């Protein structure tokens, strides 16, 4: 009996021991599994292994490319047009008519033929080892021969890694102070990326928490401890791009027709730092002919402006010639000729900017007009010349509003001039020229649906209004009244009532059987619009046009916009 009890106790004891063994084994397996789960991501196989790695500004984008990089027998590195669009030029364009690819950067326009080993860079021919081509339905560009186009330093490391570094970015290099193992992460246990000998040259990308992210001479990117770096040197400083004008741009258009002399200016215009005289305009002639209005007193005008410290951004108008404009915009050769003429005129007179004022265009020419600005702006920027583009409010008719791709124009140019007038004109019926509520609503459209950055928007304001007349038969007519002639155009006993919505004084009176109405543009209405510039942090102001204003307008600009 006693032996039986002992046997049972021994059996229970053994069963408990077995259970604990199982618990220990399961626990150990769980611990191992947890360790594997924690460290396995750090040992994940390099997804780009076996491919030519493409590194742009220390970011390995190989896995994000639409098409693999490839290298031909002449060691020319090719990247697809889609990937160049994604990383370098969002407005790259295939010109089907001429079988060529047009790509732009900040100061360069490059045209690559698909049939010849050459490209045109800002109208100068550059010979290529191999040119652009089409392969399996995909356009490819010889990126290794295009370093100057995109302002890059390009290195081919053993046909395995291609590095591209923007020359306007900071570049820091250092030496390794001892033998080091470069890891994929800063974790205690991580995949080895590269092994370096003492004194190896590396690019320092960033530093944090005692670790440095580096790029090795083999083009590998990983981490080492910062104390294993020596002789750290800034090889290249970050290039800071300074705007031509610090602070707000305050421009006044100075219009005169091509048939008269330029106005003789001696005065100072307080608050204004840019003048835009009507120097250049298209002529309705064969080919491309630009009228040079500078020959009629314009050089004296420029001398006055420079002496007063004003920048000169002459206006270039298409004279609202819809058919002629369409003909030029849609023909690459003519479009290029127009650009060349503008460059020649701008550099001849040493102006500071060009204000492009193309109006009354076909809606179907919207993209062609954008192409013109995309190809013009870098050419001007090469000479330090600013490009500003006049556009209307983002609503209205096909020929006056829908003909502008404001987003594309903003990306290409330096400034977008929102001509915040005429809210009501000869075709729209009685109303204000530029009510503050309407102006603000459209500023919001520019910033929202049109996706135009606030730092590129210059608000154009009218220095005039309209006197509306409705006769006994309901016929409506209007006449333009300059701001400085408003008082003379109204009866002396007329009553002015402030309209809080438009931020203007409203006048209504009768003369005989005719009814007259006016929404007055004056210092108060302009002040309200200037407040919008400050409220929405826009780039500045513009005024149409000189000699229509009250004298105190310029003091207001100086006071409110500095």
Residues near 214 by beta carbon (within 8 Å), at least 6 away in sequence: 174, 182, 202, 203, 204, 205, 221, 222, 223, 224, 229
- Smallest CA-to-CA distance from 341 within 290, 284, 276, 277 is with 290
- Smallest CA-to-CA distance from 469 within 443, 490, 441 is with 490
Pick the CATH number of 245-408 from 2.60.40.10, 3.20.20.80, 1.10.357.10, 2.30.130.10: 3.20.20.80
pLDDT band at 368 (very low <50, low <70, confident <90, very high): very high
Cα–Cα distance, 169 to 241 (Å, whole number): 11
Three-state DSSP class for 58?
A: coil
- Asked whether residue 385 carries a pLDDT value surpassing 60, the answer given is yes
Element (H, E) at 306: helix 298-308
pLDDT band at 226 (very low <50, low <70, confident <90, very high): very high
DSSP 266-301: ----TT--EEEE--EEE-SSSS--EEEGGGTTHHHH
Report the pLDDT averaged over residues 285-308.
96
Cα–Cα distance, 223 to 225 (Å, whole number): 7
Which residue ranges make up each domain of the chain? 53-164, 170-236, 245-408, 420-535+553-562
**What b/e sequence results for 197-234 when a residue is b if at least 16 CB atoms lie within 10 Å of its CB, and e otherwise?**
eeebebbbbeeeeebbbbbbebbbbbbbebebbeeeee
Tell me the residue length of the chain.
Answer: 562
Lowest mean pLDDT among 81-90, 391-400, 534-543: 391-400
pLDDT band at 48 (very low <50, low <70, confident <90, very high): confident
Contacts of range 383-386, beta carbons closer than 8 Å, 24 or more positions apart: 383/343, 383/346, 383/347, 384/244, 384/352, 385/346, 385/347, 385/351, 385/352, 385/353, 385/354, 386/244, 386/311, 386/313, 386/352, 386/353, 386/354, 386/414, 386/415
What percentage of residues in the chain have a pLDDT greater than 90?
87
Query: What's the pLDDT score for residue 9?
Result: 64
Task: Examine domains 53-164 and 245-408 and report if their fold is the same.
Answer: no
Q: Is the peptide bond before 422 cis (omega within 30 degrees of 0)?
A: yes
Query: What's the pLDDT score for residue 467?
Result: 97
pLDDT band at 140 (very low <50, low <70, confident <90, very high): very high
Cα–Cα distance, 37 to 91 (Å, whole number): 44
Inter-residue contact 253 to 390 (CB < 8 Å): no
Query: What's the pLDDT score for residue 249?
Result: 98
Cα–Cα distance, 76 to 198 (Å, whole number): 33
3-state helix, strand, coil in the chain (%, to 5): 30, 30, 40
Query: What's the pLDDT score for residue 47?
Result: 73
- Smallest CA-to-CA distance from 469 within 525, 513, 423, 522 is with 513
* Fold annotation for 53-164: Copper Amine Oxidase; Chain A, domain 1 (3.30.457)
pLDDT digits 0-9 by tens, 24-35: 666 666 675 555
Cα–Cα distance, 478 to 515 (Å, whole number): 11
Start-to-end Cα distance in the chain: 110
User: Is the model more confident about 13 or about 495?
Assistant: 495
Q: Which CATH superfamily is domain 170-236 in?
A: SH3 Domains (2.30.30.40)
Q: Which residues pair with 78 in a beta bridge?
A: 70, 142
- Smallest CA-to-CA distance from 401 within 434, 369, 444 is with 369
pLDDT band at 40 (very low <50, low <70, confident <90, very high): low
Average pLDDT over the chain reads: 93
pTM assigned to the model: 0.90
Q: Cα dihedral angle (542, 534, 482, 435), rounded to 10 degrees?
A: 120
Contacts of range 423-428, beta carbons closer than 8 Å, 24 or more positions apart: 423/393, 424/466, 425/466, 425/478, 426/478
Lowest mean pLDDT among 59-68, 254-263, 322-331, 402-411: 254-263
Q: Would you give the distance in Å from CA 193 to the centre of its chain?
A: 37
Query: What's the pLDDT score for residue 65?
Result: 96
Query: What's the pLDDT score for residue 62?
Result: 96
Query: What's the pLDDT score for residue 29?
Result: 65
Query: What's the pLDDT score for residue 183?
Result: 96
Cα–Cα distance, 155 to 168 (Å, whole number): 17
Residue 314 exposed, middle or buried by CB count within 10 Å (0-12, 13-18, 19+): buried
pLDDT band at 10 (very low <50, low <70, confident <90, very high): low
Strand 386-391 with 415-419, pairing: parallel
Report the pLDDT averaged over residues 439-464.
98
Query: What's the pLDDT score for residue 89?
Result: 97
pLDDT digits 0-9 by tens, 418-434: 999 999 987 788 999 99
Report the pLDDT averaged over residues 532-537.
98
In Å, what is the CA distance from 260 to each residue of 161, 281, 284, 380? 63, 14, 19, 28
Three-state DSSP class for 100?
A: strand
Q: Helix 552-561 to helix 523-535 angle, to the nearest 10 degrees?
A: 20
Cα–Cα distance, 478 to 481 (Å, whole number): 9
Inter-residue contact 415 to 458 (CB < 8 Å): yes
pLDDT digits 0-9 by tens, 148-204: 999 999 999 999 999 999 999 999 999 999 999 999 999 988 999 999 999 999 999
Output the CA torsion sign for 50, 51, 52, 58: negative
What percentage of residues in the chain have a pLDDT greater than 70?
93
- Asked whether residue 5 carries a pLDDT value surpassing 80, the answer given is no
Backbone torsion region of residue 309, taken as left when φ is above 0, otherwise alpha when ψ lies between -120 and 50, otherwise beta: left
């Amino acid at each position: 009996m006693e032996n039986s009890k002992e046997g049972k106790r021994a059996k229970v004891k053994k069963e408990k021991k077995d259970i604990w063994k199982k618990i220990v084994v399961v626990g150990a397996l769980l611990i191992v599994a947890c360790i594997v789960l924690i460290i396995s991501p750090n040992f994940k196989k390099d997804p780009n292994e076996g491919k030519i790695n493409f590194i742009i500004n220390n970011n390995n984008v190989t896995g994000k490319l639409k098409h693999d990089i490839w290298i031909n027998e002449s060691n020319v590195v090719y990247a697809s047009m889609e990937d160049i669009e994604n990383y370098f030029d969002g407005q790259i364009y295939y010109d089907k008519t001429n079988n060529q690819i047009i790509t732009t950067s900040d100061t360069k326009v490059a045209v690559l033929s698909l049939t010849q080993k050459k490209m045109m860079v800002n109208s100068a021919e550059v010979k290529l080892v191999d040119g652009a081509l089409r392969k399996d339905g995909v356009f490819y560009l010889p990126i290794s021969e295009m370093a100057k186009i995109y302002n890059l330093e390009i290195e081919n490391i053993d046909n395995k890694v291609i590095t591209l570094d923007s020359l306007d970015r900071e570049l820091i290099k250092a030496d390794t102070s001892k033998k080091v193992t470069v890891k994929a992460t800063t974790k205690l246990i991580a995949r080895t990326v590269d092994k370096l000998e003492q004194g190896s040259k590396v690019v320092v990308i960033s530093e944090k928490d005692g670790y440095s992210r580096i790029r090795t001479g083999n083009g590998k990117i990983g981490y080492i401890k910062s104390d294993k770096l020596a002789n750290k040197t800034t090889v290249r400083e970050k290039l800071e791009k300074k705007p031509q004008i610090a602070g707000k741009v305050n421009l006044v258009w100075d219009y005169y027709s091509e048939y008269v002399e330029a106005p003789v200016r001696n005065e100072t215009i307080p608050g204004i730092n840019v003048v835009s005289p009507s120097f250049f305009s298209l002529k309705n002639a064969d080919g491309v002919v630009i009228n040079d209005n500078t020959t009629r007193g314009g050089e004296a005008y420029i001398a006055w402006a420079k002496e007063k410290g004003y920048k000169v951004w002459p206006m270039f108008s298409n004279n609202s010639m819809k058919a002629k404009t369409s003909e030029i915009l849609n023909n690459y050769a003519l479009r290029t000729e127009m650009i060349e003429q503008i460059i020649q005129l701008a550099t001849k007179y040493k102006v500071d900017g060009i204000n492009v004022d193309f109006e009354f265009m076909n809606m179907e020419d919207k993209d062609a007009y954008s192409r013109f600005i995309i190809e013009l702006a870098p050419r001007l920027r090469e000479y330090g010349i600013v490009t500003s583009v006049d556009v209307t409010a983002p609503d209205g008719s096909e020929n006056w509003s829908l003909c502008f791709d404001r987003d594309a124009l903003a990306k290409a140019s330096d400034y977008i001039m929102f001509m915040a007038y005429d809210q009501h004109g000869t075709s729209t019926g009685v109303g204000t020229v530029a009510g503050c509520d309407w102006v603000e609503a459209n500023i919001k459209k520019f910033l929202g649906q049109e996706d135009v950055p606030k730092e590129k928007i210059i608000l154009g304001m009218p220095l005039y209004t309209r006197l509306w007349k409705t006769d006994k038969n309901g016929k409506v007519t209007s006449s333009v009244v300059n701001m400085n002639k408003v008082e003379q155009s109204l009866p002396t006993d007329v009553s002015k009532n402030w309209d809080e919505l438009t931020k203007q004084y409203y006048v209504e009176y009768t003369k005989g059987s005719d009814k007259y109405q006016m929404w007055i543009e004056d210092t108060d209405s302009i002040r309200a619009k200037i407040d919008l510039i400050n409220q929405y942090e826009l780039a500045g102001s513009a005024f149409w046009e000189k000699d229509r204003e009250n004298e105190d307008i310029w003091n207001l600009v100086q006071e409110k916009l500095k």
